[in-house]
Every structure is written in C-alpha cells, then in structure tokens.
Amino acid sequence: MTRINLKRVLFWLSLVLLSTLTAHSQTLCVIDGTPIPDSLLHITIDEMRSDSAKQIVAKRLGFIPPYAIESIQTFSAEEQIRQGKNITFCKSPADIIIIRTNSLAELQWVINGKLRKPRKKLTIIDYKLSPQRITEALPRGIKPTDILTADILTYINDPRLEKHPTIVIKTKTSNRLLNQRSQPEGK
C-alpha cells in the first residue's frame, strides 16, 4: 500500500511542479540580438515599463552606464505569437524585452598603449557573455598567444558621457621592444 501512495504523491507533486513552472514563466530579455541569461540580468516587465528602466538595467548589469542604452521595448509573447510572428519557443516566456545599446557600449581597443581598430566590433555585453569573442575580434597582426595581459576598463559613474568601455592589451612584442631599447648598443 505504501508503494501506491508513494506513486500517487510523486505524480501529484510532479503535476504541481509543472503547473507552477508554467504559471511563473520567465521574462525573455534580448540585448542587441543576444538572449541574456536570467542570472546576468533579472528584470520584470513592470520595471522595464517604468521611467527608470535604463537605470535599472545599468545597475543590475553593473558594467554598462545608462546612457549606453539606446532603447527598451516590451512585448507580450502571447501577443507576438497571435499576430503571426515567426517565433518558436521551447517554453513560452511571459514577456519579451528587447534592449538596444548604442556605440557607447562598444569596446575600444588599446594595444601596447595605442588605440587600434578591432577586426569586428565587440560590445561589453558580448564580452561578458563570452570572453572568448575577444580572440575573434583581435586586430590584424595580433595573435591570442602574443597576449600577456588584458584588462577591461568600464566607466560607469564617470561624468564624461563619451567614455567607452576599453580593453587594454599588452603583448609579447611590446616587451621585446622594451628589452631591446634598454640593452646597451655594444652587446
């Protein structure tokens, strides 16, 4: 008799768990076309409809200033599906939030003390989601194996609005040049 009761309890427990998961579906947040995990940015649709939405996103992310956020749009997932949008979800979210950043979220590249242009544009959000993207965006002539140090500088509370997040890289070639300059000419 205990086996039957245990099976019933497990069955009802699984039904309750499934119903609570579907009742409390998450909000899907997309920044610059990339879905953001809830662990990185947990926001609600009500927060994003408020006047301080940009400040909320900036504070929760912690590495982007509010003025680097260009726009925030909110949609109901059911409404988008009803309108015939070509959207497919494994588990339908309650709402969809689309955030677009401007050029102030793009990383500037300083390599060996000089401003360089990357092979492809990279935002601070791309970096936070996948630091390996740095190797894809390295300027021409720089190999990942040449990198000695890489530091990310963010200017969140800086009053100068034109400050971009910056990646500062030192390579092996800069050290070789310094060593050659410091050696006397006769050796």
* Predicted pLDDT at 147: 87
Task: Give the tokens for residue 158.
Answer: 């800086």
* Model pLDDT, residue 23: 40
Letter for the amino acid at 109?
Answer: W
Tell which residue, 151, 119, 149, has the closest CA to residue 135: 119
Check: pTM over 0.85? Answer yes or no.
Answer: no
- Rounded to an integer, what distance in angstroms lies between the CA atom of residue 172 and that of residue 117? 19
Ranges of each domain in the chain: 24-102, 106-182
pLDDT at 36: 80
Within the chain, what is the greatest distance between any pair of CA atoms? 95
Residue 168 parent element (H or E)? strand 166-171
Instruction: Report mean pLDDT in 10-residue bins for the chain, 187 residues.
Output: 53 49 61 79 83 88 84 78 60 77 87 90 84 86 87 74 82 60 52
Helix (H) or strand (E) holding 61: helix 53-61
The span from the CA of 80 to the CA of 14, in Å, is 30
